[in-house]
Structure 1
Amino acid sequence: MVVNKQSSYSTLPSFNNAKSRTTLHCFNQVWILPCFLTFLIAIASTYTLLFPNIHKILHLTPTVPPHCNVFDGQWVEDNSSTYPIYNSTDCPFAERGFSCLENGRKDTAYINWRWKPKQCDIPRFEAGKALEMLRGKRVVIVGDSLSRTQWESWVCMLMEGVENKESVYEINGSNITKTIRHLGVRFRDHNISVDFYRSVFLMKKDYKVPAGAPNNVRMTVRLDEVDDIRDQWVDSDVLVFNTGGWWTENRLFNEMRCFFQIGDSLVMGMSVIDGYKMALNTWADWAEANINPNRTAVFFRTIESTHWRGPNQCDVSREPLKETNGREKSEKSDIIIEVLRKRMKRVPVRVMHLTAMGSYRSDAHVGNWGDNPGMQDCGHWCLPGLPDIWNQIIFTYFLPTISSFNSHHN
Structure 2
Amino acid sequence: MASFKNLSSTFTHFPRIPPFPLSLSRTNAIFILLLTLSLVFLLLVSLADHSPALAAATLASRLFSASTYLSSFSSITSSNTNPISNSCGNCTDGAALSAVTTVEKTHRNSRKKGSSDVIGDLSSCDIFNGTWVVDDSDPVYKPGSCPFIDDAFNCFKNGRPDSEYLSLRWKPHGCQIPRFNGRKMLRLLRGKRLVFVGDSLNRNMWESLVCALRESFEDKSKVYEVSGRHEFKTQGFYSFRFRDYKCSIDFFKSPFLVQEVSDLGRSRRETLRLDMIEDFSSKYQNADIIVFNTGHWWTHEKTYTGKNYFQEGDHVYNRLEVTKAFTKALRTWAQWVDANIDTNRTRVFFRGYSASHFSGGQWNSGGSCHGERNPITNDTHLAPYPWMMNILESVIAEMRTPVFYLNITKMTDYRKDAHPSIFYQPENQRSPGMFEDCSHWCLPGVPDSWNELLYATLLISHHDRPRNR
Shift of 1:60: 10
Q: Which amino acid aligns with 2:141?
A: Y
Aligned residue pair count: 340
The residue aligned with 2:211 is 156
> What CA distance in whole angstroms lies between the structure 1 residues aligned with 2:341 and 2:223?
28
Looking at structure 2, the residues matched to 315 and 367 of structure 1 have their Cα atoms a distance apart, in angstroms, of 6
Of the three residues 168, 176, 186, the one matched with 1:121 is 176
Q: Is the 8 A contact 1:144 1:199 kept in 2?
A: yes
Q: Which residue of 1 aligns with 2:131?
A: 74
Match of 1:4 in 2: none
Distance 1:239 1:73, change over 3 A: same
Q: After superposing the two structures, state which structure 1 stretch, 174-183 or 232-241, moved more.
A: 174-183
From 205, 212, 216, the equivalent of 2:260 is 205
Q: Show the counterpart of 2:396.
A: 340
- Counterpart CA distance in 1 for 2:435 and 2:121 is 40
Query: Is 1:401 aligned to 2:460, yes or no?
Result: yes
Residues 332 and 85 (structure 1), Cα distance of their counterparts in 2 relative to 1, 3 Å cut: same
**Greater helix proportion:** 2
SS at match of 2:297: coil
Secondary structure of the equivalent of 2:319? coil
Structure 2 contact 418–441 (Cα < 8 Å) conserved: yes
The reply to whether residue 221 of structure 1 matches residue 281 of structure 2 is: no
Does residue 382 (structure 1) correspond to residue 442 (structure 2)? The answer is yes
1:303 and 2:303 aligned: no
Q: Aligned runs of 1:246-257 on 2, under 5 Å? A: 246-248=297-299, 250-252=301-303
User: How far 1:313 moved relative to its partner?
Assistant: 2.1
Q: Once the 2 structures are TM-superposed, how far is the Cα of residue 61 of structure 1 from its aligned partner?
A: 7.2
Q: Which has the higher contact order (CA 8 A, sep 6+)?
A: 1
Give % identity: 39
| 1:11-410 matched pairs, under 5 angstroms | 62=119, 64-79=121-136, 81=137, 83-208=138-263, 218-248=269-299, 250-252=301-303, 259-309=309-359, 310=361, 311-316=365-370, 317-323=372-378, 325-327=381-383, 329-342=385-398, 344-345=399-400, 347-371=401-425, 373=430, 374-395=434-455, 397-403=456-462
1:258 deviates by 7.0
Q: Deviations over 1:147-173 (max 9, x none)?
A: 100000010010111121111111112
Q: Quick one: structure 1 residues 312 and 194, their matched pair in 2 at CA, closer, same or farther if it must change by over 3 Å?
A: farther
Give the distance between the partners of 1:404 and 1:182, measured in 2 at CA: 31
Amino acid at match of 1:161: S
- SS across alignment from 1:387: helix
CA distance in 2, matches of 1:152, 1:252: 27
Instruction: Give me the whole-angstrom Cα distance separating, in 2, the residues matched to 1:295 and 1:106.
Output: 45
Aligned-pair distance for 1:105? 0.6
Secondary structure class of the residue paired with 2:119: coil
TM-score normalised over the length of structure 1: 0.78
Tell whether the 8 Å contact from 2:308 to 2:316 is kept in structure 1 after alignment: no
Q: For 2:349 and 2:458, how far apart are their aligned partners in 1?
A: 11
Q: Alpha-carbon deviation of 1:328? A: 5.0
Cα shift at 1:177: 2.8
Moved more, 355-364 or 90-99: 90-99
CA distance in 1 between partners of 2:332 and 2:206 (Å): 24
CA distance in 2, matches of 1:131, 1:177: 23
TM superposition shift of 1:292: 1.1
Q: Over residues 167-190 of structure 1, what are the superposed CA-to-partner deviations in whole Å (9 max), with x where a residue is unaligned? A: 111111223232310011001111
Q: CA RMSD in A?
A: 2.4
Call closer, same or farther: CA 1:263–1:356 in 2, change over 3 Å: same
Q: Residues 198 and 89 of structure 1: is their aligned pair in 2 closer, same or farther, counting only changes over 3 Å?
A: same
Compute the displacement of 1:106 (Å): 0.8
Give the deviation of 1:339 after TM superposition.
0.8
Compute the displacement of 1:120 (Å): 0.5
CA spacing shift, 1:136–1:328, aligned 2, 3 Å: farther
Rg: which structure is higher?
A: 2
CA contact (8 A) 1:328 1:357 kept: no
Deviates more, 1:279-288 or 1:177-186: 177-186
Is the CA contact 1:305–1:328 (under 8 Å) kept in the aligned structure 2? no
3-state SS, counterpart of residue 163 of structure 1: coil
1:106-153 CA deviation, whole Å, 9 max, x = no partner?
110001101111110111111111111111110100111101000000
